[in-house]
Structure 1
Amino acid sequence: MLPMRKWTINGDFLTLSPNGVARYAREVTTAIEDLLAAGGPLADGLEVTLATPVERHDLPLRHIRTVHIPEFRRPRLPQAWVQLQLPRHVEGGLLSFCNLAPVAVSRQIVCMHDAHTWLMPESYGRMFRLAHRVIMPVVGRRARAVATVSQHARRQLAALGVAPEDRIAVAWNGCDHALRWRASRSPRDYRNRRPFVLCIGRNQPYKNMDLIWSIAPALAARGIEVLVAGEAGGAEALRHGPNIVALGRISDDELAAAMEAALCFVFPTRIEGFGLPAVEAMARGCPVIASTADALMEVCGDAAIHVDPDHPDGWTTAIIRLLENPFERLAMVAAGRARARLFTWRGVAETWLGLMAAVDGVPVGTLRDAGAAATAAVMVRA
């Protein structure tokens, strides 16, 4: 039996909408809970606490204790809870899953998902950019280890000096949460529509929604609709073509129903740290046409069709190819499902527990779990 090792999870993510980096944090926390319940070398002697500014949460935790740290009422400023309040309640090490973390805590592992505020700053507000550009490099130098979600993101963070490359481990994303979605609970039935492609739109330049608008007329000529979910799928989207259907924000269950019925999922983004919507679509049996962004090439591999984000004709050609070749589409469904099975939240959590063990100085020879092998070559600041 190893001596007790104490870690705290930065629960600031519970104040965020459960998407993007907050989904990562929620799923990894839950997967760590499951590993603690199952036991094993990585969980031996490990005590984990979730420190959160919210009074109640919906995470199913029994082996991870929750501590509520109320936010200051005045001044109520961004990052005040993380930077000023959380550090006083950290016992042992700290896990921060959402890019920003307290600079006062050096015994921590932080996940930095991407370098987007450097690469496409026009996609973010001034204060958001400033917070990331100031805090992330400081934490990257001070933290015992940094995690990120792809080899591409690892290289970018290192090239920009956010953290040394030999201190960055890859802890991917999982996508098996998408298998919990229930299309049968969707308020809309997408199965009897004419052929349609699906995308998730956001009003940020790097998401490249102009590509979607530009190919809509050519798809309309072939009887193909374009369904746009998300914030860019509001009424404004309708002016780009009569075959565009603006879904707005939809639930995960409705997204599952749309993915299962779509001809394909299109993802023309210019940059990504990982590209979670693409593998979620694969998990739901929806073929993916994705851009040639490095992270998408890495994550989707040959299970997706990749097209240059600046070549609209290539996107139209790829979509019509799937319309005219149902057997190729079925082959892509099978390949996508196989690819998606590589990305599990349990595997991500094992990597995190391996990093925690390395920080705690647990001898590598005692780490027999799968995730430990992925971290054995990563140097961790002593």
Structure 2
Amino acid sequence: MIDLCIDARMALSSGIGRYICEILSFFRKGFLRVTLLVDQLGYDWAQGFDQIVFNTPIYSFREQLLYPMRIPTCDFFFSPHYNVPILPISAKKQVVTIHDLCHLEFGTPLQKSYAKFMLKKALASDIIITVSHFTKGEIQKHFGPRQVHVIPLGANERRFKVLSPSSAVRGRYRLPKKFILYVGNNKPHKNLHMLKAAFQNVQLSDLALVMVGKGTPYGEIEEGDLCHIYNMAEALVFPSLYEGFGLPPLEAMASGCPTLVSKAGSLPEVCSDASLYFDPNNASEITEAIRRIVTDQELKKNLIQKGFQRVKMFSWKKTAEEHLKLFEASVHA
């Protein structure tokens, strides 16, 4: 039996939250005893696991003071983000997943200092996981050679798939008839100012830009509605300047939505030849990519088919199994 404690307080965050909830669904194994640190009780995704309430803010001084008192005696303490405990804890080994080094690249001076300090602590963990070879390279560029396990994220094929048009979802969000879609938050590295500027020059009167996610015009979308929106979109456009992985392009591919993505970060690694690429710093290239996908039906059809093939290479089941293999190997090492 492996005793595993997971800091699950970020389960409602976008990318990291999806990661936590998806792999947890495969952690209901006979050889695992899982305990979750949660900010409150009652979450559906946490049902069936032992839970310890730890409603202290992420990145806080109080978080670090209370970690040793909240983390039970266990074989592994798993941090799904780099905010690892600094003080000694009652875990035989520590595991961390570092999704990206975005705070080092785009943070304020204070954020950069904090990120550098905490990443050094995180990289002292017994098992270091990251989600792309790009991020592994970034870690080694900033902090030198070390053993880092690359485990790509997945796409939920039960949630993201081809669906019939939903007039209810269209009406609920007052979606235009024909639109290009962006999914994500509005943080600076998401490059939304460039996307807006580029879209103004598309000059197709019947085409709209729909941006969904925290801080965007349409805001956060009900979980069950996102797949319908992917299905209705002409294409997903993802103009990020930096990504550690990038889940929305995979979700779009699984939903039969062609993808236009930037050449930055991990995106070429994740999307391979199944996307149409552009320079995220060149508004004209973004404009041209949008025009092409709307007017070239053969291109659109080709990208949809390549997307279906590409997304088959990623599954949350495989992601979870690779984690479990690391835990088992470390126990027996």
TM-score normalised to the size of structure 2? 0.87
Q: Report the CA distance shift for 1:343/1:82 in structure 2 as closer, same or farther (over 3 A).
A: farther
**2:200 alignment partner, one of 217, 223, 240:** 217
Shift of 1:101: 1.7
Q: Report the CA distance shift for 1:192/1:314 in structure 2 as closer, same or farther (over 3 A).
A: same
CA distance in 1, matches of 2:213, 2:174: 20
CA distance in 1, matches of 2:6, 2:139: 23
Alignment of 1:283 with 2:260, yes or no, is no
CA distance in 2, matches of 1:21, 1:78: 22
Pairing of 1:221-300 with structure 2 (within 5 A): 221-234=204-217, 247-300=218-271
Residue 66 of structure 1 corresponds to which residue in structure 2? 50
Alignment of 1:170 with 2:170, yes or no, is no
Structure showing the higher helix proportion among its residues: 1
CA distance in 2, matches of 1:355, 1:57: 27
Residue 191 of structure 2 corresponds to which residue in structure 1? 208
Residue 27 of structure 1 corresponds to which residue in structure 2? 22
Paired residues in the alignment total: 325
Q: Report the CA distance shift for 1:184/1:90 in structure 2 as closer, same or farther (over 3 A).
A: farther
CA distance in 2, matches of 1:196, 1:70: 42
CA distance in 1, matches of 2:139, 2:149: 11
Decide which structure has the larger Cα Rg and report it.
1
CA deviation string 1:342-373 (max 9, x = no partner):
111110111101110121126xxxxxxxxxxx
CA distance in 2, matches of 1:309, 1:144: 36
Shift of 1:131: 3.8
- The alignment yields a C-alpha RMSD, in angstroms, of 2.8
Alignment of 1:108 with 2:94, yes or no, is yes
Pairing of 1:292-331 with structure 2 (within 5 A): 292-331=263-302
Alignment of 1:158 with 2:140, yes or no, is yes
AA in 2 matched with 1:227: V
Contact 1:22/1:98, CA 8 A, preserved across alignment? no
Residue 86 of structure 1 corresponds to which residue in structure 2? 70
Contact 1:149/1:171, CA 8 A, preserved across alignment? yes
AA in 2 matched with 1:12: R
Contact 1:186/1:254, CA 8 A, preserved across alignment? no
CA distance in 2, matches of 1:207, 1:21: 16
Contact 1:203/1:231, CA 8 A, preserved across alignment? yes
Residue 57 of structure 1 corresponds to which residue in structure 2? 43
Contact 1:176/1:341, CA 8 A, preserved across alignment? no
Q: Report the CA distance shift for 1:192/1:6 in structure 2 as closer, same or farther (over 3 A).
A: closer
Give the gaps of 5 or more residues in structure 1.
38-44, 235-246, 363-382
Pairing of 1:327-346 with structure 2 (within 5 A): 327-346=298-317
CA distance in 2, matches of 1:72, 1:121: 22
Contact 1:72/1:81, CA 8 A, preserved across alignment? no
**Identity, % of aligned positions:** 24
TM-score normalised to the size of structure 1? 0.77
Alignment of 1:198 with 2:181, yes or no, is yes
